[in-house]
Structure formats: structure tokens, C-alpha cells
Amino acid sequence: MRTWVPLTVSMLCGLAWAGNLESCASRCSEQFDRDSACQCDHRCPEHGDCCDDYELLCAAEEDSTEPEPFSEVEEGAPDNSLYSAPSSCQGRCREAFDGHHACHCHDRCQESGNCCEDFESLCGNYGGFSHSSDTITEEELQSVSEKIYRADTNKAQKEDIILNRQNCITPSETGDQVDHCPNLLFTYVNEKLFSKPTYAAFINLLNNYQRATGHRELFNAQQLAEQDIFLREIMKTAVMKELYGFLHHQNRYSSEQEFVDDLKNMWFGLYSRSNEEGDSSGFEHVFSGEVKKGKVTGFHNWIRFYLQEKEGLVDYYSHVYDGPWDSYPDVLGMQFNWDGYYKEVGSAFIGSSPEFEFALYSLCFIARPGKACQLSLGGYPLSIQTYTWDKTTYGNGKKYIATAYVSTSTQ
């Protein structure tokens, strides 16, 4: 079993900050304190500025408390007012354990005696649900993520991208909105990458959205066809075949067509983040980016970043996290201004193929919806956080993707 270790100083890159670590003793659940060298508030895992003993002292304390609605971790995740801990298994059969829920619908809830009252009637015959093999273990997630990592033959090679990371700041400085980097992040990108079928299909989707929430998305026939083209192209790749084979073996999908149909719904299905029906989707939020209440939300894709930076619409400010990978895909946690709107903490894979990101985010949303999903890439641990959209559903109570991103918290 993999041992999860704290991020190194070089990853968090604030030497002065990292050399003055404090403790979370008697500080769990406190508010963010700009004067503290490290934090113990509920958002510190997202910002990567938790004290070393946060997991030991605070995570255990949170797990022991009464279930309550989850807190918003990223602007763009569901509003608290839209979420309440469910008391039914409607649309939740096979759902991963979530400590915020008062009752559960996973295959071992009967052993624990904490199933919802309608578990038997709704989930008892849910496609072999009662078999323990339907539970995806941590070891299985790490194994399949390594296989997906090795299968990403469309990723950028070292010579395809030259990054100019420039200045690294401490997590406490991210709210200052100061441009610490005068030069572009991307010094060079080999745009021949973008002629590959999955890249081309992905790029065609990026400009199909209005970035401001509260404006209904209206797709023409060509734009709807582009969604199908993208799904068709990525399903030809070894990355997505690896993912489907794994989920099929786990009894999550009986056919590839069922899998593709579900991907289309969970990623491209429209819902409302504001007052307009159908103004957002998981794909728009995560890959294209949105603006809500004067802030950038989502926008976790390096291709979108590069293209917008090339057009002069993105201004790279700084970074707080640089992943341990010495080849692509890598991970960068950064701050930037998008045509007048600030992104305080934005993590993104760098140099990965579109299908790679789509596969890992989908895997984690299916296996660990609303929870941290611990993966392994090239021998290094990686955590992905997803959230479900709980105000509206599709199909038999299935959830849309609210957001998905690489978490730069310490493990």
C-alpha cells in the first residue's frame, strides 16, 4: 500500500514560509489568519497551507462531528444553500461513503448499520450492488490511475512546452492580487499537438460558452455535434479504453455506449448556477472557465490557459505549487487575471492530453463523488477533489459534475 507523505518544500516553494511551521493544536476550525505561518481552517487543504499536523488533529475531529452540509471549497462548487444531507438512497446507490451524510447507500452500510431506510427497496437489486467487488478501493484507484498515466501517449513531451514559472508566493499572499510575474507563463508550446484529433475536438468546444453565470447557454446543431465528436475521439484512445475497462469490470457500466451516454450527461448536461436555467455545466466550469460574482471560477485547463494567454486575455500572476513530476503531465497551482477577473487559487495539469484530464476527473467523480480521490501518477501521489451538483439531477437521480480539480493540499 502506498505511503502518503507531506509535500516537499520545493513543491510548495515558500522556503521562509515552510521553515516556520506551526501546529493546529487548539486551532481546528479557526478562521484564516494571515499572520499565521500555516493554517487550520477548513479551506487550508485547497490552498495547500495547512500545518503539518492538520490531518492528524483536525481531520479526525471533523470526522467525529455530527453530519452537516459540506462547506464550499472552491468558488463554483455548489452553494451551501443548495445542499442538505440526504436521508434517502434515491439516486445514491453505490455512492461512496461521505461523513457529512446522516445515512448511507454504499454496499457495506448494512455491516455498519447506517443505511438509509429505503436502502433495500431502492438498492437491493441494483445491478449486483450487494457484492463487495462493487466498492472501488484505494489500491484499485492508484493502480488504474497509473495505467491511465502510462497510456497517455498524446501528452506533451519535454521539448513541446517551455514554462517560465517565475515567482512563487506563499499561500497567505494569494488574496493580494499582485502580479509577481512580468512574463508569460508559456514561453513556447509546440502547437502541432493541437492538430491531434482529441486536442482539436477539445479546442472546438472551448468557445461554445458564455463565461458569465446567469446567462443561459444556447447551443446550435454544430455545437451539439462537437460534444459528440469530442466524446467519440477520446473513446478511441488507450486512456479512455483503460478507464472504461476498469469501470466495466467494477460493474459500473454494462456497455461502452452506456458509459459514453453517462459521460455526456454528467459533463455536458446544463444546470443553473445563478438565476438562469441552463447557464452552466461541468465541462464549461472545469475546462473553459466561468465568472461568478466578479471572480473566476473553475478554469483548470492548461490548453485553455495557453490559448487565452496567447490572445492577451490571461495575465499570469504567480504560483504557489509546482508538482514533483520532471516530465509531462505536471501540476501547477497558480494565480492569474482573466480579462479583468482574478483567480486566487487555480490548479491545472500541464502538458496532459484532453482525454487524460477527462479520464481522471471522471474516474474520481464516479468513484469518490464529493470527496478527495487519492491517485498515483508515475509513482507520486495525487489528490483530485470533485463535487456533485445537488440542486438538479438527470436520469434516475444521477448527479451532474459541479467541479473537479487537482488538490494541492498536503497528504
pLDDT digits (tens, 9 = 90+) for 288-338: 999 998 999 999 999 999 999 999 999 999 999 999 999 999 999 999 999
Residues serving a catalytic function are 285, 300, 343
Predicted confidence band at 10 (pLDDT cuts at 50, 70, 90)? very low
Q: Which residue has the higher pLDDT, 125 or 274?
A: 274
Task: Give the pLDDT confidence score for residue 152 in this predicted structure.
Answer: 97
Task: Look at residue 86 and tell me whether its pLDDT is greater than 80.
Answer: no
Residue carrying the nine cell digits 502547437: 191
- Would you say residue 14 has pLDDT above 70? no
What confidence category does residue 47 fall into, taking pLDDT thresholds of 50, 70 and 90? low
Residue-wise pLDDT tens digits, 203-257:
999 999 999 998 989 999 999 999 999 999 999 999 999 999 999 999 999 999 9
Spatial CA neighbour of 168 closest among 49, 33, 266: 49
Higher pLDDT, 21 or 259: 259
- Distance CA(349)–CA(304), nearest Å, equals 11
Q: Quick one: the chain helix, strand, coil %, rounded to 5?
A: 35, 20, 45
Residue 283's H or E segment, with its range, is helix 282-283
Report field, pTM of the whole predicted structure over 0.75: no
3-state DSSP assignment of residue 336: strand
Q: Considering only CA atoms, which of 85, 81, 137 is closest in space to residue 116?
A: 85
Q: Is the dihedral of CA 240, 246, 248, 252 positive or negative?
A: negative
Query: Distance between CA 242 and CA 291 in Å, rounded?
Result: 34
Which pLDDT band holds residue 38 (cuts at 50, 70, 90)?
confident
Which DSSP symbol is given to 71? P
Residue 9 in this model has a pLDDT that exceeds 50: no
Distance, CA of 129 to CA of 126 (rounded, Å): 5
